C-alpha cells in the first residue's frame, strides 16, 4: 500500500512538471494616466509569495504558468490576471479611482464620507511617515486642522492640552476620549489623584499610546458627530486604526533615528540660563517592522526602542514598544482581526514649575543670593564664580534628585466580522487597555541639604513617596449594518450596543525619616498609606439610519440610550438624538457646466447631542474620612444627589465642502453652535452650609465658531507635487449660566487664576487690575476683575508637503493661535526678587502683588513651526535584490517659535492639570521648559 | 429531533444567562464611607470627635497665617499667602475670607450633626463626649463672633452680628459645663466669650473659676504632619521653613518668641495653644485696670509673669529659618544678631529681643513668653501705661495664636461666595471693619545694621491704649 502511494506521488509529480512550467513574469503597473505606480502588491493567488512594484511601477516574479497574479493597491480595484504563457504582463489599475473615503468613528460602521453631515478629520499613514514622534498628541499636533494640542511642558511624557471647539465642560479635561481599533483606552492627560507633585509637569497616559503601527487616525468633535458614543463623548473622539498588513511576500523594515536634543532658550530673559542649564542630549530610536500575508491572512508587526538622555541634566527617558495586528478571513463570511500592543516608558524627572525646588528655571526667577552665596541674583551680572556656584548647584540637584516614573501598558483588541448574507455585516469587538504606572520620589537628606532646605548635618528629614496606578478599561461592542438600495434610494441601517468599564486603582505610600540611601519605604520611622478606587461602567445601545436619494441627497437619524453607574440613582437611561442632512450639489445634472471649475460641492447641516458623565460616586452622601493623629477622623457628608445626570453637549452645525479645478483646491467651511446644558460644575455651596463643593448639574456653557480648512495643490507636474493645507478656526466661548452658584476657581493662584462665572469665557483670568498715575504711583485697583481669557479667539495649523521626482519630499507643519492671554508668572517672581522689568513703575514697587495681577497678563499669541523634514528615497539600482528601498530623512522638531509674550512660552503651563481629569485651561507661563529642539537623522530600509 | 434542538438551545441560553453573573460589568462599589454607614453605630461619636479635632486644625490653619498678617506681629516678605491683609486691606472678595468662613461653618455644622444625629444614635456615647461636641460648636460660634463682623449662623440664612455668635457660644459652653462641671477649659472659654461681649462681671467669675479648676490649664490645636498637607501646620511653613515662598518675618521686638510654630521632628509640628490659663489672669488684670484698681492690676500682671515663667521652652536648631535672607533688598534685610537693640520710634531702645539663629541652637517659649519683668510692671504709672503694657503682654503671650487681630478690633466681612449664593446677605455684611486709628503699615521698621539699631515705626499697644474707649477694642472700656 505504502509503495503504491509513493509511486502515485512520483507519477503525479512527474506529470505536474511536464505540464506546469516555472516562468519569470515581469511588467509594469500604471494608473489610467500611464504613470507607473510604486508599491503595488503583486501576489501569486493562494500563496504568500509576492513582490511590490518599484518606484517606476516595474515588477518581476517567478510563477507557475497556471497561476494567477493578484494586483492590489489602496484606492484602486484589485485585479486578478491568469499568467498562462505570457512573460510580460502590464496592468493598468483603474476602477474606483475616485475612491470615496470611508470613515467609521461616530458612524457605528464604515460609511462613505460623502453620505454624512458631520465632519471627520483624518490623519493618514502617509501623514505620519517619517515623523520621529513617539506620542499621540505630538503626532496629531498640527495635523488635525480644527484642534489645538498644546504641550504643557517640554519634559518627556508630560500632560498636554488637547481641545477643539472651545471648552465644553468645566468638570473634566478637554482631551477627547480615545479608541484604538474599537477599544476605549486610558486618555488621562492630567496628574493622578494620588500622584506625586513635581511642580507643574504631570505625566500623561497619552505619552504611551502606541504610535508605531498607526494606519489612520479619525477625529470627530463633540456633540453632533459623537452621539453614538452617548454620555462619554462631549469632548469628541479620537480613533486610531492600526496597520493590518497587506497580502504578499513578507516585507521587513528597519529604521534607525539618531538625533541631538537642544533645549530652547527662546523664552529666557537671561543668556546665562541656556548656557548653564542646557546640554546637548542624544536621542536614538530603532524600529523594526514586518508585514505580509496572503489573501486570507495578513499581519503587521512593529517593535521599537527609543531613548534620550535629555536636554538638561537629570531629565531622561526610555521607551520600548511592540505591536502585532493579524487579520484573518476564517471563511467567506467570517473575518477576525486581533491586535496586541505593549509599551514601556521610563522617565527621570526633576522638580519644575510650581515647585520651589526647581533651581534650573529658578535662574530666570532670581535665585536667592543669601541662600546660595551669590554676588547678585541677576544672571546678567554674574561673575564666573557665580556661574560656577549655580552650575554646581544644578549638577548637585540632578545628582541627588531621584524622581522616576515607570509605565507598562498592554492594549489589545479583538473583532469578529460576520457577513451572513450580502448587504448585512455584523461586527463584535472586545478588548482591554491595561496601564500600570509607578511614580517614586526619594528626597534624601543630602538632596534637601543641596537644595538648602535643611541645614547641613540634617539626618532625619529624608522622605520617600511612591504611588502606583493600575488602570483597566474593558470595551465590548456589537453592531449590525444593513445596506439596501431601492430604485434611487439607498439605505444604510446600523444598530448596536456598547459598554465600557474603567477601573482605576491607586495607592500611595509616604515614608518619613527615611534612612539615607534607602530605596524602600520600609527603612523609615513612619509610613502612611492611601488608596483611591474609582470604577465606572457605561453601557447603552444605538441606532442610525442613513438614507440617500439619487446619490446626492442624504439624511441621517441616530440615537443612543446610555446607562452609567455614575448617574444619580433616580437618573435612568439617557437619550441622545442626532439628525443630519447633506446635499452633494455637484452630483446634480445642472452642475455639469460648472464642474470644470467646481469639481465638488456638498452642503451639510446637522444637530446632535452627546454627554459627559459625572464623576463616579459623586452622587452618594459620602463622608470625609481621614487619618488624623493616629485616629479616624470622620467629617460630615454632602447630601446625596439622586438626580446627578450627565452634562449634555448639544451641537448644531452647518457647512459646505468645495473642491475646485479638478480637486486642486479644496475648501471646507463649518459653522457650529454648541451648548453644554446641565453642565457639571463643582461650584461651592454658600460657605455658611459648611459643606465641601460637589459636582452639580448647574451650568450652561456655549461655544460657537467657524472652522475653515483649505488645501491647495500649488504645483502638480511630472516632477513636482506641492500641497499646502491651512486652517482657520474661530471660537467664542461663554459661560451662559452658573445656575445661581457663585463663581469658582479651576486652577491657578489665589491672587490670579482661571475662574468660571456667568457671562465670561470659561477659565477667564480673574485678578486685580491696577492703574498708575503719572508719577507711577498706584492710582486705583479693580479687584477680582476680568484680566483676559485663556482660550484664543482664532487658531489654526498648516502643512506644506512637496515631493520632487517621487524621491525627495519636504514636509513642514506648524500651528498658531491669537487672541488669548496668559500669565507671565516668571515675571511675578522676578518682581519679588527685584529683577522685574519696568511694567510696575518704581513708585509702585512696594505695592502688594495681589493688587498688580493685571500687569502680568500678556498675549498668548504664537506661531510655531513644529516639524521640518526632508527625505530622500534612494534609487533601487543602488542596492541588491534584497533591499527594496532605502529612505533617508532629516528632521528638525520645534525649530522656530514666534510669540508676543515677554520671556515665557505661552504654550507651556506651570499650573493646572494636577487634579485627576480636571479641566486645564493653561494660561500660566511658569518655570516650565518648552519642548526642546531636536535634529534627527533617520534611515529606513525596506527589505 | 426538534425537542432535542430546543433543549440544546434552552441549555445554551441558560449558560449564557448564568455567565452574566461572572461578567456583570455594571457592578461598582463605592469605596467611600457614606452617611448610612456611620449614624447609629457604636462608638461613632469618638470617630466624629477626631473629625472635629481635624476640622479644628484645618480652621486654625486658615486663621493663623492670615491673623499673623493682619497684625503688627508678622510681615509677609515674599509669599503667596495673603498680602492685602498685611496692609489691612480686607475685602469681601478675598479668597481667605471665604475659606475661613467655610472652615468655621464646617466646624459648626460638624458639631451640630454630632449633637443631633451622631451622639443620640451611638449606644456607647458619654456625657463627656456630648460636652465636647457642645464645646466644638461653641468654639465655632466664638470664632465667628471674634473674627467676623456678621456671619450666618445657619446655612443660607441671614448674617447675624458678632454679639449673637458670642451669645450662641456662651449657650454651648454652658451646656458643655453642665455636662462636665470640672473641666477648666469650658469655664475659661466662657470667660473669653464674656470678655469679648464686654460682660466684665461674668468674665471675672469664670476666669476665677477656671484658675481654681486648673491653674496650669492649656488646650492646643494639634497638627498631623504626616497625613497630608491639609492638616499639617501652614504656620510652621510660613514662619520656619525656607527654600520656598513661605516667608513671614516677625516684628523685631517679638523675634525672641519666634517661631512658636516649629518642627519638633520630621513627623511632629509644635501644637499651638488655643485656650490657656494665662488668659484668665489677663482678663482679671484688664478688669481691674478698667475698675481703676491699678495696684490690683499690678499684682495680676505679675501673676501672669510668674505663670509664664513656669511654662515650657524648646531648644532647637533654627538656622534654616534665618533672618537676613537677601541683603539686596530692604524687605529682606532684618535684624539677626543679639547685639541689635529694638525700640518704637521716639522711645528707648531695648536689648535682648533679637536672637542669632546661626550661632547654635536657640531657645524659645513654646506656650507663653513675655519680655516684661516685675520691675517693668512696677514702673507703670497711668491707666494707659498699664493698658499699653497689658496689651504688649497679650501680644507676646498670644503670638502666633491668631489673637492679635481680635485685640486690634479687626473684623472680617461676609464673603463674596456667600453673598453670591445667599440672597439674605446685605450690603453692610460685605464691608470689613478695621478701626480707623490703626496704621496700615503696622509692621514697618527701619533697620540700621551698621549701628545695630532697629526702630519700629508704630507702637500699636500705645495706640490701643489711647483709643481705649473705641467700641471696637478693649471690651472692658
Chain B residues whose CB is inside 8 A of the A692 CB are: 106
What is the pTM for the complete model shown? 0.84
CA of B229 vs chain A CAs: smallest distance (Å): 12
CA distance A557 to A579: 5
Say yes or no for a CB contact (<8 Å) between A687 and B78: no
Instruction: Choose the mutation target among A451, A634, A683 for the interface with B, i.e. most B CBs under 10 Å.
Output: A634
Give the SS3 label for residue A809: strand
Task: Give the model's pLDDT for residue A66.
Answer: 83
Contact A628 B224 (CB under 8 A): yes
Strands (E), A9-167: 22-30, 41-44, 50-52, 58-64, 68-72, 79-82, 91-92, 102-103, 111-112, 121-124, 147-151, 160-164
Say if A357 is an interface residue toward chain B (CB within 8 Å). Answer: yes
ipTM over 0.95: no
Residue to test with chain A: of B227, B262, B269, B444, most A Cβ within 10 A = B227
Percent of residues, chain A, with pLDDT higher than 70: 96
Digit-coded pLDDT (tens) for A303-328? 999 999 989 999 999 999 999 999 99
Residue B348 — pLDDT band, cuts 50, 70, 90? Answer: very high
Contact B35 A513 (CB under 8 A): no
User: Pairing between strand A177-180 and A237-242?
Assistant: parallel
Q: Name the residue ranges covered by the structural domains of chain B.
A: 2-466
pLDDT tens string A449-483: 998 888 888 898 899 999 999 999 999 999 999 99
Please, which residues 83-122 of chain A have a Cβ atom closer than 8 Å to chain B?
Answer: none
Better-scored residue on pLDDT, A352 or A841: A841
Q: Does B106 sit within 8 Å of A636, measured CB to CB?
A: yes
Q: Do B105 and A689 count as a contact with CB atoms less than 8 A apart?
A: yes
DSSP string, A704-752: EEEEEEEEEEEEESSSEEEEEEEEEEEEEEEEEE-TTPPPEE-SS-SSE
**Amino acid B14: pLDDT:** 65
Least CA distance to B160: which residue of chain A? Answer: A688
Interface test with B, best of A473, A613, A690 (most B CBs within 10 A): A690
Phi-psi region of A26 (alpha: psi -120 to 50; beta: other; left: phi over 0): beta
Closest CA to B67 of B468, B354, B407: B407
Task: Answer whether A688 sits within 8 Å of B101, measured CB to CB.
Answer: yes
- The pLDDT value given to residue A180: 93
pLDDT tens-digit series, residues A141-151: 878 899 999 88
Asked if A631 and B53 come within 8 Å (Cβ–Cβ), the reply is yes
- Residue A9's pLDDT band (boundaries 50, 70, 90)? very low
Is-contact A364 A269, C-beta < 8 A?
yes
Residues 830-849 of A with CB under 8 A from B: 832-834, 848-849
User: For residue B366, what is its C-alpha cell?
Assistant: 513654646
Put simply, whether A499 touches B (Cβ < 8 Å) is yes
User: How far B63 CA lies from chain A's nearest CA (Å)?
Assistant: 16
Chain A residues lying within 8 Å of B82, measured CB to CB = 750, 850
Work out the average pLDDT over A328-343.
93
Work out the minimum CA distance from A463 to partner chain B, whole angstroms: 9
CB A646 within 8 A of CB A614: yes
A531 touches chain B (CB under 8 A): yes
Percent of chain A with pLDDT over 90: 57
Q: Rounded to 5 degrees, what are φ and ψ at A687?
A: -60, -25
Of A54-63, A186-195, B214-223, give the lowest mean pLDDT range.
A54-63
Residue of B nearest to A533 (CA): B31
pLDDT at residue A76 in the model = 76
Cβ distance B25 to A832 less than 8 Å, yes or no, reads no
- pLDDT number for residue A358: 87
Predicted confidence (pLDDT) per residue in A553-597, tens digit:
999 999 999 999 999 999 999 999 999 999 999 989 898 888 889
Q: What pLDDT, in 10s, does the model give residues B186-199?
A: 999 999 999 999 99
Interface of A with B in 47-76 (CB under 8 A): none
- As a whole number, mean pLDDT of residues A7-26 equals 53
Residue B109 has its nearest CB partner, among A376, A620, A689, at: A689
What residues of chain B lie within 8 A of the CB of A463, using their CB?
Answer: 266
CA distance B252 to chain A (A): 20
Size of interface A-B (CB pairs under 8 A): 232
How far apart are alpha carbons A833 and B332 in whole angstroms? Answer: 10
Q: What is the CATH number of domain B2-466?
A: 1.25.40.390
Mean pLDDT of chain A: 89
Does residue A843 have a pLDDT over 80?
Answer: yes
Cβ A625–B32 below 8 Å, yes or no? Answer: yes
pLDDT at A679 over 50: yes
The residue of chain B nearest to residue A684, with distances taken between CA atoms, is B417
> pLDDT (tens digit, 9 = 90+) per residue, B151-205?
999 999 999 999 999 999 999 999 999 999 999 999 999 999 999 999 999 999 9
Identify which of B28, B266, B327 has the shortest CB distance to residue A616: B28
Between B243 and A146, the more confident residue is: A146
Does A459 reach chain B within 8 Å, measured CB to CB?
no
| Segment B101-140, tens digit of pLDDT | 999 999 999 999 999 999 999 999 999 999 999 999 999 9
Instruction: Pick B227's closest partner by Cβ from A461, A528, A531.
Output: A528
Examine the pLDDT at B245 and tell me if it is beyond 80.
no
Nearest to B367 by CA among B278, B429, B268, B264: B278
Rounded to whole angstroms, the Cα distance separating A829 from A749 reads: 13
Name the residue facing B83 among A369, A784, A850 (closest C-beta). Answer: A850
pLDDT, position B10: 67
Q: State the smallest CA–CA distance between residue B342 and chain A in angstroms.
A: 23
| Å between B326 CA and nearest CA of chain A | 5
Is the model's pLDDT at A448 over the cut of 80?
yes
* Cβ A78 vs Cβ A64: under 8 Å: no
Higher pLDDT, B278 or A371: B278
Q: How far apart are CA A472 and CA A188, in angstroms?
A: 12
**Residue A17 touches chain B, beta carbons under 8 Å:** no
pLDDT at A200: 65
| A839 CA: distance to closest CA in chain B (Å) | 19
Interchain pair A563, B422: CB under 8 A? no
Residue B117 is given by DSSP the state I
A460, A531, A690 ranked by CB distance to B109: nearest = A690
* pLDDT tens-digit series, residues A756-811: 999 999 999 999 999 999 999 999 999 889 999 999 999 999 999 999 988 899 99
Contacts B154 to A, Cβ<8 Å: 688
Residues 634-653 of A with CB under 8 A from B: 634-637, 640
CA distance A47 to A53: 18
- Statement: residue B73 has pLDDT above 60: yes
Tens of pLDDT, residue by residue over A515-565, are 999 999 999 998 988 899 999 999 999 999 999 998 899 999 999 999 999
Across the interface, whether the CB atoms of B266 and A512 are under 8 A apart is answered: yes
B95-113 vs B127-147: helix crossing angle, rounded to 10: 160
> What single-letter DSSP state applies at residue B115?
I
In terms of Cα–Cα distance, which of A85, A225, A35 is closest to A147?
A225
Residue of A nearest to B319 (CA): A455
- Do A628 and B227 count as a contact with CB atoms less than 8 A apart? yes
Cis peptide before A85 (omega within 30 of 0): no
Q: Mutation test of the interface with chain A: which of B16, B57, B62, B80, choosing the one with the most A Cβ atoms within 10 A? A: B80
Q: Which of B20, B31, B156 to mutate to test the interface with A (most CBs of A within 10 A)?
A: B31
DSSP single-letter state for residue A34: S
Q: Choose the closest CB to A455 out of B108, B152, B319.
A: B319
Q: Who among B26, B33, B317 is closest to A623 (CB)? A: B33
Contact flag A633-B157 (C-beta cutoff 8 Å) = no
Amino acid at each position: 500500500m505504502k509503495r503504491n502511494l509513493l509511486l502515485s506521488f512520483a507519477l503525479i509529480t512527474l506529470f505536474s512538471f511536464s505540464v506546469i512550467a516555472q516562468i519569470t513574469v515581469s511588467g509594469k503597473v500604471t494608473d489610467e494616466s500611464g504613470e507607473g505606480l510604486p508599491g503595488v502588491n503583486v501576489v501569486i493567488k493562494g500563496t504568500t509569495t509576492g513582490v511590490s512594484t518599484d518606484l517606476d511601477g516595474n515588477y518581476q516574479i517567478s510563477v507557475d504558468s497556471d497561476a494567477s497574479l493578484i494586483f492590489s493597491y489602496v484606492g484602486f480595484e484589485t485585479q486578478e490576471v491568469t499568467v498562462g504563457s505570457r512573460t510580460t504582463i502590464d496592468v493598468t489599475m483603474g476602477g474606483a479611482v475616485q475612491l470615496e473615503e470611508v470613515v467609521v468613528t461616530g458612524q457605528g460602521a464604515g460609511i462613505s464620507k460623502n453620505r454624512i453631515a458631520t465632519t471627520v478629520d483624518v490623519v493618514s499613514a502617509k501623514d505620519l511617515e517619517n515623523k520621529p514622534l513617539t506620542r499621540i498628541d505630538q503626532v496629531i499636533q498640527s495635523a488635525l486642522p480644527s484642534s489645538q494640542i498644546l504641550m504643557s511642558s517640554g519634559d518627556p511624557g508630560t500632560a498636554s492640552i488637547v481641545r477643539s471647539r472651545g471648552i465644553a465642560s468645566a468638570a473634566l479635561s478637554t482631551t477627547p476620549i480615545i479608541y484604538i481599533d474599537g477599544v476605549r483606552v486610558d486618555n488621562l492627560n492630567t496628574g493622578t489623584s494620588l500622584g506625586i507633585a513635581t511642580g507643574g509637569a504631570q505625566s500623561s497616559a497619552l505619552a504611551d499610546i502606541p504610535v508605531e503601527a498607526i494606519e489612520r487616525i479619525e477625529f470627530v468633535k463633540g456633540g453632533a458627530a459623537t452621539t453614538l458614543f452617548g454620555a462619554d463623548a462631549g469632548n469628541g473622539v479620537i480613533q486610531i486604526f492600526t496597520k493590518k498588513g497587506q497580502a504578499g511576500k513578507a516585507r521587513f523594515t528597519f529604521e534607525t533615528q539618531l538625533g541631538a536634543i537642544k533645549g530652547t532658550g527662546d523664552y529666557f530673559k537671561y543668556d546665562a540660563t541656556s548656557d548653564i542649564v542646557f546640554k546637548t542630549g542624544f536621542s536614538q530610536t530603532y524600529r523594526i517592522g514586518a508585514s505580509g500575508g496572503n489573501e486570507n491572512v495578513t499581519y503587521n508587526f512593529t517593535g521599537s526602542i527609543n531613548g534620550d538622555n535629555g536636554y538638561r541634566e537629570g531629565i531622561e527617558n526610555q521607551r520600548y514598544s511592540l505591536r502585532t495586528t493579524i487579520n484573518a478571513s476564517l471563511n467567506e463570511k467570517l473575518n477576525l482581526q486581533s491586535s496586541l500592543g505593549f509599551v514601556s516608558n521610563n522617565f527621570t524627572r526633576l522638580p519644575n514649575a510650581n515647585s520651589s525646588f526647581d533651581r534650573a528655571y529658578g535662574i530666570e526667577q532670581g535665585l536667592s543670593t543669601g541662600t546660595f552665596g551669590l554676588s547678585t541674583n541677576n544672571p546678567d551680572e554674574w561673575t564666573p564664580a557665580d556661574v560656577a556656584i549655580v552650575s554646581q548647584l544644578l549638577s548637585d540637584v540632578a545628582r541627588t534628585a531621584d524622581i522616576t516614573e515607570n509605565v507598562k501598558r498592554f492594549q489589545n483588541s479583538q473583532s469578529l466580522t460576520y457577513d451572513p448574507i450580502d448587504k448585512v455585516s455584523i461586527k463584535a469587538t472586545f478588548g482591554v487597555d491595561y496601564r500600570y504606572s509607578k511614580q517614586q520620589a526619594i528626597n534624601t537628606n543630602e538632596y534637601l541639604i543641596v537644595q538648602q532646605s535643611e541645614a547641613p548635618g540634617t539626618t532625619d528629614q529624608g522622605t520617600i513617596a511612591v504611588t502606583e496606578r493600575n488602570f483597566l478599561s474593558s470595551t465590548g461592542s456589537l453592531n449590525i449594518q444593513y445596506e439596501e438600495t431601492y430604485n434611487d434610494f439607498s439605505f444604510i441601517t446600523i444598530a448596536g450596543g456598547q459598554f465600557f468599564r474603567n477601573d482605576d486603582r491607586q495607592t500611595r505610600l509616604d515614608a518619613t525619616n527615611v534612612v539615607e540611601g534607602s530605596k524602600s519605604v520600609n527603612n523609615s520611622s513612619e509610613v502612611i498609606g492611601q488608596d483611591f478606587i474609582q470604577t465606572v461602567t457605561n453601557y447603552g445601545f444605538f441606532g442610525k439610519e442613513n438614507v440617500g436619494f439619487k446619490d446626492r441627497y442624504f439624511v441621517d437619524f441616530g440615537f443612543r440610550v446610555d446607562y452609567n453607574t455614575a448617574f444619580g440613582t433616580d437618573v435612568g437611561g439617557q437619550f441622545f438624538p442626532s439628525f443630519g442632512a447633506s446635499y452633494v450639489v455637484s452630483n446634480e445634472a445642472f452642475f455639469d457646466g460648472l464642474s470644470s471649475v467646481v469639481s465638488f460641492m456638498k452642503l451639510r447641516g446637522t444637530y446632535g447631542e452627546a454627554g459627559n458623565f459625572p464623576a463616579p460616586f459623586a452622587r452618594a452622601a459620602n463622608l470625609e474620612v481621614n487619618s488624623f493623629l493616629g485616629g479616624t477622623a470622620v467629617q460630615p457628608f454632602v447630601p446625596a444627589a439622586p438626580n446627578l445626570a450627565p452634562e449634555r453637549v448639544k451641537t448644531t452645525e452647518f457647512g459646505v465642502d468645495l473642491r475646485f479645478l479638478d480637486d486642486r483646491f479644496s475648501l471646507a467651511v463649518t459653522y457650529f453652535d454648541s451648548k453644554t446644558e446641565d453642565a457639571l460644575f463643582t461650584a461651592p455651596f454658600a460657605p455658611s452650609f459648611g459643606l465641601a463643593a460637589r459636582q452639580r448639574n448647574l451650568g450652561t456653557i456655549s461655544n460657537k465658531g467657524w472652522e475653515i480648512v483649505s488645501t491647495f495643490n500649488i504645483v502638480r507636474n511630472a516632477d513636482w507635487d506641492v500641497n499646502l493645507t491651512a486652517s482657520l478656526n474661530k471660537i467664542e466661548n461663554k459661560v451662559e449660566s452658573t445656575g445661581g452658584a457663585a463663581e469658582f476657581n479651576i486652577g491657578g493662584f489665589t491672587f490670579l487664576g482661571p475662574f468660571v462665572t456667568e457671562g465670561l469665557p470659561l477659565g477667564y483670568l480673574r485678578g486685580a487690575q491696577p492703574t498708575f498715575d503719572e508719577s507711577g504711583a498706584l492710582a486705583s485697583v479693580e479687584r477680582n476683575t476680568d484680566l483676559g481669557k485663556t482660550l484664543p479667539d482664532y487658531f489654526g495649523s498648516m502643512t506644506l508637503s512637496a515631493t520632487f521626482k517621487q524621491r525627495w519630499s519636504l514636509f513642514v507643519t506648524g500651528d498658531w493661535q491669537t487672541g488669548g492671554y496668559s500669565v507671565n508668572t516668571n515675571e511675578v517672581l522676578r518682581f519679588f526678587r527685584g529683577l522685574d522689568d519696568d511694567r510696575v513703575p518704581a513708585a509702585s514697587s512696594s505695592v502688594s502683588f495681589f493688587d498688580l495681577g493685571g500687569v502680568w497678563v500678556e498675549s498668548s499669541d504664537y506661531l510655531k513651526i513644529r516639524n521640518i523634514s526632508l527625505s530622500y528615497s534612494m534609487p533601487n539600482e543602488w542596492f541588491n535584490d534584497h533591499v527594496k528601498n532605502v529612505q533617508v530623512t532629516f528632521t528638525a522638531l520645534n525649530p522656530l517659535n514666534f510669540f508676543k509674550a515677554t520671556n515665557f512660552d505661552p504654550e507651556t503651563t506651570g499650573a493646572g492639570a494636577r487634579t485627576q481629569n480636571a479641566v486645564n485651561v493653561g494660561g500660566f507661563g511658569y518655570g516650565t521648559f518648552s519642548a526642546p529642539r531636536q535634529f534627527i537623522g533617520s534611515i529606513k530600509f525596506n527589505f | 429531533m426538534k425537542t432535542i434542538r430546543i433543549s440544546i438551545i434552552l441549555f445554551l441560553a441558560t449558560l449564557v444567562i448564568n455567565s452574566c453573573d461572572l461578567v456583570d460589568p455594571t457592578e461598582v462599589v463605592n469605596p467611600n464611607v457614606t452617611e448610612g454607614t456611620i449614624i447609629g453605630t457604636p462608638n461613632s461619636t469618638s470617630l466624629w470627635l477626631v473629625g472635629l479635632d481635624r476640622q479644628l486644625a484645618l480652621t486654625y490653619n486658615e486663621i493663623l497665617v492670615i491673623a499673623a498678617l493682619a497684625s503688627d506681629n508678622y510681615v509677609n516678605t515674599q509669599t503667596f499667602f495673603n498680602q492685602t491683609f498685611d496692609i489691612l486691606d480686607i475685602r469681601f472678595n478675598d479668597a481667605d475670607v471665604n475659606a475661613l468662613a467655610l472652615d468655621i461653618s464646617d466646624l459648626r455644622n460638624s458639631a451640630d450633626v454630632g449633637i443631633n444625629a451622631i451622639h443620640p444614635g451611638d449606644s456607647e456615647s458619654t456625657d463627656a463626649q456630648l460636652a465636647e461636641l457642645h464645646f466644638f460648636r461653641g468654639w465655632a460660634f466664638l470664632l465667628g463672633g471674634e473674627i467676623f463682623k456678621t456671619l450666618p449662623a445657619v446655612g443660607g440664612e441671614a448674617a447675624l452680628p458678632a454679639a449673637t455668635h458670642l451669645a450662641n457660644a456662651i449657650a454651648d459652653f454652658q451646656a458643655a459645663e453642665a455636662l462636665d462641671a470640672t473641666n477648666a477649659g469650658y469655664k475659661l472659654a466662657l470667660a473669653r466669650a464674656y470678655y469679648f461681649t464686654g460682660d466684665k462681671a461674668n468674665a471675672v467669675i469664670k476666669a476665677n473659676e477656671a484658675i481654681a479648676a486648673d491653674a496650669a490649664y492649656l488646650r492646643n490645636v494639634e497638627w498631623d504632619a504626616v497625613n497630608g498637607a491639609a492638616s499639617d501646620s501652614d504656620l510652621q511653613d510660613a514662619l520656619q521653613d525656607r527654600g520656598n515662598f513661605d516667608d513671614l518675618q516677625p516684628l523685631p521686638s517679638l523675634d525672641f518668641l519666634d517661631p512658636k510654630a516649629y518642627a519638633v521632628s520630621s513627623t511632629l509640628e509644635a501644637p499651638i495653644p488655643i485656650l490657656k490659663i494665662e488668659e484668665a489672669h489677663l482678663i482679671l488684670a484688664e478688669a481691674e485696670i478698667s475698675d481703676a484698681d491699678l495696684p490690683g492690676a499690678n499684682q495680676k500682671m505679675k501673676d501672669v509673669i510668674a505663670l509664664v515663667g513656669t511654662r515650657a521652652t524648646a531648644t532647637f536648631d533654627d538656622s534654616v529659618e534665618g533672618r537676613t535672607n537677601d541683603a539686596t533688598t530692604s524687605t529682606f534685610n532684618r535684624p539677626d544678631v543679639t547685639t541689635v537693640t529694638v525700640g518704637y520710634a521716639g522711645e528707648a531702645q531695648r536689648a535682648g529681643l533679637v536672637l542669632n539663629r546661626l550661632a547654635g541652637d536657640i531657645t524659645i517659649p513654646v506656650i507663653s513668653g513675655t519680655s516684661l519683668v516685675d520691675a517693668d510692671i512696677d514702673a507703670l504709672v497711668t491707666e494707659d501705661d498699664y493698658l499699653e503694657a497689658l496689651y504688649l503682654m497679650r501680644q507676646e503671650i498670644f503670638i502666633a495664636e491668631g489673637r492679635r487681630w481680635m485685640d486690634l478690633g479687626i473684623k472680617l466681612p461676609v464673603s463674596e461666595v456667600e453673598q453670591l449664593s445667599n440672597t439674605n446677605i446685605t450690603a453692610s455684611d460685605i464691608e470689613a471693619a478695621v478701626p480707623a486709628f490703626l496704621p496700615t503699615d503696622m509692621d514697618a521698621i527701619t533697620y540700621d545694621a551698621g549701628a545695630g539699631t532697629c526702630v519700629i515705626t508704630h507702637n500699636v499697644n500705645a495706640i490701643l491704649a489711647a483709643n481705649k474707649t473705641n467700641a471696637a477694642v478693649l471690651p472692658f472700656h
